[in-house]
Amino acid sequence: CDPYEEDLVEANLSSFPPIWEKATIVDGDKDAQATFSALKGKIPNISIKGGGASDISEALKTYPDSDPDCWWSFNQCTDAKYPGVPDDISFVPEPKTLGYGFDDGPNCAHNTFYDYLASQKQLATMYFVGSNVIDWPREARRAVSDGEYRRFHQYLTTLSNEEAFAELYYGVKAVQFITGVTPTCWRPPFGDTDDRIRFIAQSLDLVTILWQYDTFDWKGGQGDAQDDAEVNKNYADIVSLAENGAFDSVGAIVLMHELSTFTMSKAVEYYPDFKRVFDVRVLSFVSWSQV
């Protein structure tokens, strides 16, 4: 892919935090400052995981077994414990239904993948990274014009309240500015969320979407045949579960990525199987009854 610039995007870069860096509220952004000021006194008093470190490995060792914060990274908790905080969506309630979506786009090489989805008349939820949206605005617009949808990548529970707010606020703003569409849902990077982050997301009118089944497709395509084989097995295992009735009473959300040509090619390769074993494939933030 060849990087490119759009005059409109370049002229407005100062309205956003520097891309691919930890976000903070931009100096002079009165709207963001006012929104956060109205919110910050209401945010649950939940400690930052890892004391502000960039990963959560040490925090996981000392976190209480009682899981007071409904920390997904600890035990995949999706039922919020803090009053007024909504539960995450991690499955589709309708039987034999697949919540279909992809993380970490837009990808500059996604045209073949999107052409395939269009040929199948298949919509998908695209969980975008805000920095990617600014880097690849044309690709972001195609996702919207084709009928796909939207998001924002680091462990958010390691961030301060303001940093977590800025990550989500400016992620939404980037998608709005580039595509004209307002995101209504988001997927926490690595699934890492707790009731503090859920509260901030809810305050920005974002529904939290997680998953139950993971293809680990991001591991493949890097020259390791064993990793590639593992990805194939993960896909095949999900198909096998469906064939054996695992989704006869309730559907599933599967984690897949728009990250690379490898991950997109695997989605195309296994789409016929998914189409065969799931009666319906819907956007991963809605159920079939809502459609």
The single-letter DSSP state of residue 17 is P
Phi and psi of 21, rounded to 5°?
-130, 160
Instruction: Please give the pLDDT value at position 152.
Output: 53
Say what angle helices 161-179 and 195-203 make with each other, to 10 degrees: 40
Domains annotated on the chain, with CATH: 84-283 (3.20.20.370)
Q: Does the annotation count 55 as an active-site position?
A: no
Active-site choice (29, 153, 192, 257): 257
Q: Does the annotation count 110 as an active-site position?
A: no
- Cα torsion 138, 152, 207, 97 to 10°: value is 70
Closest CA to 76 of 84, 67, 85, 63: 67
Phi and psi of 257, rounded to 5°?
-130, 150
Summarised one tens digit per residue, pLDDT across range 250-278 is 999 999 999 999 999 999 999 999 999 99
Instruction: Please give the pLDDT value at position 53.
Output: 62
Instruction: Please give the pLDDT value at position 291.
Output: 38
Active-site choice (29, 103, 194, 217): 103
Tokens, residue 273? 């199987």
pTM for this prediction? 0.93
